[in-house]
Amino acid sequence: MKKSLQARNNDLANTQRQLEILSNGIFKDELPTFANKIKETNQFPLRPKKLEILQINLGYMCNQVCAHCHVDAGPDRKEIMTTETMNQCLDVIRKTDAHTLDLTGGAPEMNPNFRWFVEEASKAGIKDFIVRSNLTIIRANKKYHDLPEFFKKHNVHVVSSMPHWTRGKTDKQRGDGVFDKSIKALQMLNDVGYGMEGSDLKLDLVYNPSGAFLPGDQMALENDFKKALKNDFNINFNSLFAITNLPISRFLDYLIASENYEDYMYALVEAYNPTAVENVMCTNTISISWDGWLFDCDFNQMLNLKVNSKIKHISEYNEALLQNRNIIINQHCYGCTAGAGSSCQGVVA
């Protein structure tokens, strides 16, 4: 299995290095910076709107090492949220105005206190409780086989990555054998009612392009996925979210190594859609890292760009103060404003 950039001592494991790349080169004289681009439509500085989503990263450990991963997650990553930070998160979850709680990772299920945290968090009565599951974790070890039942018990909304409906494309991006395990896991989720017609148990899939190109029309892709997964494996799901790969971390490494970086950035800038800026996820989300730091989004978290606010840590959380901040932007933000836009909930425009 491949290793994370961090384990390989790759230059790009240093977030400052990533920001240098994104701030220089073609953005010195050829392409407009994201800040200048949104200034054209008087959308600078980018400001939060109503807080709707708390996204909590329970740790960077994962059973997979996906080629495009913006977290640089993998089995060698040991950053895991402690119960102390989880308790601080629970205090916030109990009093937040956000209607959605979104747990992510790594594989959030690999946090040893994941189930306790879900049980406690579900008591807070959040309207939409999302767990981002990579699917294969359900098949990775016997101790995870009952996750579908556990999710059902706590009425968790499962959002799962599935790069393609074919084995070849899926395994190339996510590793050998991932497709077969994902199919089995989807069938297990269907068996307990997830994604089935008439069921309240929601199962959504996330599609990321498996290469240096942007996602196509979300609805067309959803139709293709639904048709293929139903015909080939009798699998049902609710919606497909098409998410653009942002040029950071392992995907940035891939873009540079494959000499696709400049073309990809041109494609993102050319596809810039000012309407998408209105609804980018950083305007309605707070992202919390495994060690309790606060960020505008999961991507800024991975670039270690903490919120531009006096309140920077979950231990001092104050929603009103946090909402009065300017969102930190850089050229990676073009990934969320290309075409129909991209967020953890798919298109935004």
Q: Give the binding site for other proteins (CB under 8 A).
A: 164, 166, 169, 209, 211, 213-217, 220-221, 224, 263, 266, 270
**Least distance from other proteins to the Cβ atom of residue 284, Å:** 27
Rounded distance, CA 256 to CA 140, Å? 32
Q: Which is nearer to other proteins, 3 or 167 (CB)?
A: 167
Q: Which is nearer to other proteins, 222 or 253 (CB)?
A: 222
Rounded distance, CA 178 to CA 170, Å? 7
Q: Considering Cα of 20, then 24, then 25, then 27, what sign does the dihedral take?
A: positive
Q: Which is nearer to other proteins, 247 or 292 (CB)?
A: 247
**Least distance from other proteins to the Cβ atom of residue 308, Å:** 34
Rounded distance, CA 238 to CA 203, Å? 6
Rounded distance, CA 263 to CA 271, Å? 12
Name the helix (H) or strand (E) containing 100: strand 100-104
Return left, alpha or beta for 175; rule: phi > 0 is left, psi -120 to 50 is alpha, else beta: left
**Least distance from other proteins to the Cβ atom of residue 230, Å:** 16
**Least distance from other proteins to the Cβ atom of residue 76, Å:** 31
Q: Which is nearer to other proteins, 262 or 291 (CB)?
A: 262
Q: Which is nearer to other proteins, 200 or 270 (CB)?
A: 270
Residue 266 exposure: Cα atoms within 13 Å on the Cβ side: 8
**Least distance from other proteins to the Cβ atom of residue 265, Å:** 11
**Least distance from other proteins to the Cβ atom of residue 224, Å:** 5
Q: Which is nearer to other proteins, 62 or 235 (CB)?
A: 235
Q: Considering Cα of 280, then 172, then 73, then 124, what sign does the dihedral take?
A: positive
